[in-house]
Chains A and B, each alone.
Chain A
Amino acid sequence: MSIPLSYPLMLAAALFGIGLYGALSQRNAIRILMGIELMLNAVNINLVAFAYYLEGAAAAGQVFALFIMTVSAAEVALALAIILLLAKREKHIDIEQVNLLRW
């Protein structure tokens, strides 16, 4: 009684789509970060699901997922630091108002 592989894959695809939509449509920098986190978690679901169903490649998929979690934590920490820098100077974190650089 195992779940077919297509179920977690569809979940991951949907989650990735929601995350990408969120990251591209939001104006608040923190919300964009949340969208990015959804995308990365979708990738992790994909990897772990494949690792479960593939013979002999389980370790690689799970290790990959662990690395992604670690790196994404570092990425978010850095992103929050940069957002904090912006918030201190500009008193907002709305990326639509961050537009000094335009041609």
Chain B
Amino acid sequence: MPVDGSLRLILPEIIVAGTGLLALTAGLVSRRSRLPGFVSMLGLAAAAYFLLAEVAGETTQIWSGTVLVDGFSTLFKAVFLGIAALIALVSFDYIERNGLPAGEFHLLVLLATVGMMFMAGSLNLITIYIGLECLALASYALTGMLRGSAKSTEASLKYILIGAISSGVILFGMSLVFGVAGSVHLAEINAALAGGTPMLPVLLAGMVFLVAGLGVKMAAVPFHMWAPDVYHGAPAPVAAFLITASEAAAFAAALRIFLVGLPAIQEHWTTVFVALAVITMTFGNVTAIVQTNMRRMLAYSAVAQAGYVMVGLAVASERAVSAMIYYLIAYAFATIGAFAVVILLGRYHPAEDIADYRGLGRRAPLLALTLTVFMLSFIGIPPTAGFFGKFYLFQSAVAAGMPWLALIMVLNSMVSIPYYWGVVQTMYLREGETDAPLPAPAGVRWTAAIGLAATLILGLFPDQVVQLVSAVQVVPALLSGGL
């Protein structure tokens, strides 16, 4: 490996991976289950520091185009690091209570984070695939970590079987695209396809396989069958991690593959994504209404939210991309915050039914209030972040001449009101069996507070955030002037 400073550009990834090994060691040598969590958070902070102080602002490709550093990848990496740190924070108490191996837990979360960072930080199909698998293998293991729980094992088995099938489908699509374009680098694929290709049917088949395979990772209907089971059966912090970070990584990879590599057949994939977005949000919302379990309700709500984000992918304008990123960030904070409350309640009510939230307004007034704000953000009511996320997506759909798509989004948001609002009603209007206050561990309280602060700040200063986000481009500047 040449010492030309290129290693510096992936220093954040190296730090995260190294921290994982440190956390594992810490878990082996120390009986205190909190030590690996602190190690992990420190490492993530160091990685974030290097990312923002050293790497941010650079746009360059290293190692024959296998790794790319640009604004888009830096932004996504920062989001992944933030989510991983929040997950470490919220899981202190959960790990102790369920007797999970703390070192292994944090190692796997950090390795999954490294995988996501490479997914967002490359234009090379091979690197994207390796990142995807690094994330996926760690997630399968994390899902099955509650070894005493039959639900956890079942979720993990379903996840790995469906995940492996979807990897095969993505790979088949990649191999066809590689065959038609003669390259595994997305910019070269774009250049090869720009003048049209005699093998258009093969290319379209490859596109269909890519959409289907990535659709599984994004939990798009009809490829979502694994999602509710995994989000329900996995350990709660892991479910929060998968709903937020893993989905964001899948969207980051999809944005790169379709916008950088396959703009030549944009009319074809736009149609597919429009259809998927409409089906996904409608199915997710309608199914969420009938759920009685809190985790399953949040799982179907996650499917619906993936549908909203996919509107941005279907529109695929610059505005839509920044709206997507804003939405993913806003949704991540609200979801992790809501899961902090779910984790706390799960400690006293393992069944995690929505009915268990009765009387929460009296038992834990502050947490009930924060959960209310998160539900308002999910519905999309100002001044929460969720409102502006949806608003920017509407705007981008209307600007792209698809007002009917925006209309379907609005209708879907209205359909979603009863089930989100039902939780709030249950907390405040229905009497609980007991009025005993619920003491919350510090990690849970801090996570909920950070989620609340972020949801409100993103909602109160949306313009500033959007300005920051819209500065990044999916197609990096160094490519527009040729390779």
Contacts and interface: CB of A to CB of B under 8 A. Distances in A.
Contact of B172 (A46, A54, A78): A46
Given A43-B172, A98-B158, A79 B164 contact: yes
Contacts of A29: 157, 161
A39 to B, nearest CB: 4
Contacts of A63: 126
Contact of B290 (A39, A67, A103): A103
B184 A60 contact: yes
A71 to B, nearest CB: 5
A89 B150 contact: yes
A4 to B, nearest CB: 14
B144 A43 contact: no
A95 B161 contact: yes
B172 A16 contact: yes
A86 interface: yes
A60 B178 contact: yes
Contact of B153 (A12, A56, A85): A85
Interface string A24-65: 100001001100100110110011011000111100110110
Interface string A10-25: 0010001001100110
Nearest to B152: A85
Contacts of B229: 101
A75 B167 contact: yes
A78 B126 CA distance: 21
Nearest to A75: B164
Contacts of A56: 182
Contacts of A82: 140, 144, 153, 156-157, 160
B228 A40 contact: no
B296 A103 contact: yes
Nearest to B156: A82
B242 to A, nearest CB: 15
B175 interface: yes
Contacts of B154: 86, 98-101
A47 B184 CA distance: 11
Given A19-B168, A100-B151, A54 B182 contact: yes
Contact of B179 (A46, A83, A100): A46
Contacts of B176: 46
Interface stretch (B34-42, B87-95, B129-137, B342-350): B129-137
B172 A39 contact: yes
Contacts of A68: 129, 171
B178 A64 contact: yes
Nearest to B148: A89
B167 A85 contact: no
A79 B168 contact: no
A18 B137 CA distance: 25
Contact of A64 (B125, B153, B160, B165): B125
Contacts of B171: 39-40, 43, 68
A47 B182 CA distance: 10
B361 interface: no
A12 B172 CA distance: 9
A43 B153 contact: no
A63 to B, nearest CB: 7
Given A39-B172, A42-B172, A50-B178, A78 B150 contact: no
9 contacts: A40-B171, A64-B129, A67-B129, A68-B171, A85-B144, A86-B153, A86-B154, A86-B157, A98-B154
Interface of B: 125-126, 129-130, 133, 137, 140-141, 144, 147, 150-151, 153-158, 160-161, 164-165, 167-169, 171-172, 174-176, 178-179, 182-184, 228-229, 232-233, 287, 290-291, 296
Closest 10 CB pairs of A and B: A39-B168, A50-B179, A46-B175, A101-B229, A43-B171, A60-B184, A36-B164, A57-B182, A71-B133, A54-B182
